Amino acid sequence: MIRVGPAGWAYKDWEGIVYPKPRGFDPVTYLARFFDTIKINSSFYGLPQMAAAQAWIEHADGNPRFRFTTCEIAIETDYATAHCAEMASDTR
């Protein structure tokens, strides 16, 4: 299956252009209405806290087909390679 979605969601320059800018707005909830996947960019730099990952999943609950994709960094010899995975929104 091919999934199409944005690479991340927390970009200041997207506010008011890609998604609305109202107070209390959640970009993951909004983007999950239009896409079935979003890449978690921050996981490349370190594993997210369990509470943060759980919150992301809860914000995407409105789309049962939704999946997060993530790339973790793995150090092999003297260079880094990214290993990608899929995280289901129904994983609890």
Strand extents, DSSP E, the chain? 37-40, 67-76, 79-88
Q: 62's torsion region: left (phi>0), alpha (psi -120 to 50) or beta?
A: alpha
Predicted local confidence at residue 86, as pLDDT: 54
Predicted local confidence at residue 37, as pLDDT: 92
Predicted local confidence at residue 19, as pLDDT: 85
> Across-strand partners of 40?
70
Predicted local confidence at residue 70, as pLDDT: 78
pTM score? 0.70
The one-digit pLDDT tens for each residue of the chain (92 residues) are 888 899 889 888 988 888 888 778 889 999 999 999 998 877 767 777 889 889 999 999 999 999 988 766 555 544 444 455 555 444 44
* Sequence-distant contacts of 11-19: CB under 8 A, at least 24 apart: none
